[in-house]
Amino acid sequence: MKMKRTTFLLSLMLAAAACAVHAEGLSLKAKKTKATKVEPVCIQKIGATAESGDGTQQELEGIFFLFEISKLKKNDRVLYMQELRDFTIDGMSYAQMTQEQLGLEVEPQSEIIESSKLIAGNPALKKILKNEKSGLAMQTAIYGTALPASGTVAVTLQIGWAELNEAKTEMVNGSTEDFTFTFDLASLVDEERTAEITEQEKAELLRRISAFRDDTDFSRNNLKNYSDIIAFASENEAVHIALGPDSFPDEVSKSSYAPVFLLAYVCGNLESQLQSGSYTNNPEAGIAFELLKYRQLKEQDPSVSIRFFEDRR
């Protein structure tokens, strides 16, 4: 089972926001060799609903990792590593546990980006990413079966550096070193969720959504000002917001403006539920808000063209 890109995108956005805004998640002491420093700056529990090829849905748990990787030697070598695909709990593979308990193989997902670019998209992360100048941030979401309440987790990163060939098209002479980190699952605090929405919260959320409706600054630095809306939608059990290919297809999630449309979809869907008092997923309202933002983008840059929205204009 492969996590949809939309699910993965939302997972990273919510997890990173929780790490930066709410200071949630576990951080561990960095490890370094002569060539490399690796620091786990945020580790936390996550959950998502995944969909298999036949449309079957499965509730999953897992762990989100945010590592910062720094090269300690001044040279032209580039990052060379093995993909992080698994971790162990008390010596047992989490992927194997998932296979045995759920009968599933869940494809992990990772994203590596320059620390400076990740901070530009979410300035609050500057509090935990320490090497903005030259660091590389690796975000990995590994989903699977329900996590036990306790147990020793061990996660190993295989990281090193390689040269580029003369054509600069392939890495050569690469080698890796192992960086293993351990922690107790009990140290990962479950996300606090509530099913209550006060009238004051409702009024403030509607005001914030209205502000975003009129806001035409689509820079990532400005979008972080609305992270409270995303946080509320993820933390409150009363509201129900689901993403799918009919509301957030790949051509939208892969566009450079994906964070704008993701926030717009959440705003439209959430606004509808708050106004009606009917807390059920409303993808039509989310799409309508996405379309509004698309029109605003087109006014600024007529060259922007996403067929999903063009067909609905």
What confidence tens digit (pLDDT) does each residue in 42-52 have? Answer: 898 887 766 55
pLDDT recorded at residue 23: 46
Does residue 192 form part of some domain? Answer: no
pLDDT recorded at residue 152: 97
Round the average pLDDT of the chain to a whole number and report it: 86
Same domain, yes or no: 143 and 262: no
CA–CA separation, 60 and 48 (whole Å): 5
Same domain, yes or no: 213 and 272: yes
Does residue 193 form part of some domain? Answer: no
Does residue 194 form part of some domain? Answer: no
Residue 158 has phi, psi (to 5 degrees) of -110, 105
pLDDT recorded at residue 56: 67
Does residue 26 form part of some domain? Answer: yes
Same domain, yes or no: 178 and 85: yes
Same domain, yes or no: 151 and 209: no
Does residue 210 form part of some domain? Answer: yes
pLDDT recorded at residue 261: 92
Residue written as token pair 């959320």: 205
Look at residues 165, 187, 209 and tell me which one is the last residue of a structural domain.
187
- Residue 167 exposed, middle or buried by CB count within 10 Å (0-12, 13-18, 19+): exposed
Look at residues 187, 209, 237 and tell me which one is the last residue of a structural domain.
187
**pTM of the predicted model, to two decimals?**
0.70
Give the range of the structural domain holding residue 90, as residue numbers without chain letter: 5-187
Same domain, yes or no: 144 and 228: no
Q: Which two tokens stand for residue 1?
A: 């089972």
Instruction: State how many domains the chain has.
Output: 2
Q: Which residues of the chain have pLDDT under 50?
A: 1, 3, 6, 21-23
Same domain, yes or no: 245 and 132: no
Does residue 10 form part of some domain? Answer: yes
Sheet with 36-51, side-by-side order of all strands = 31-32, 36-51, 57-71, 136-144, 109-114
CA–CA separation, 83 and 53 (whole Å): 24
Same domain, yes or no: 118 and 254: no
Same domain, yes or no: 162 and 267: no
pLDDT recorded at residue 8: 55
Does residue 251 form part of some domain? Answer: yes
Same domain, yes or no: 157 and 215: no
Same domain, yes or no: 132 and 23: yes
Same domain, yes or no: 111 and 207: no
Look at residues 123, 155, 187 and tell me which one is the last residue of a structural domain.
187
We report the CATH number of the domain holding residue 45 as 2.60.40
pLDDT recorded at residue 84: 95
Does residue 240 form part of some domain? Answer: yes
Same domain, yes or no: 89 and 238: no
pLDDT recorded at residue 189: 61
pLDDT recorded at residue 286: 95
pLDDT recorded at residue 135: 96
pLDDT recorded at residue 125: 79
pLDDT recorded at residue 22: 47
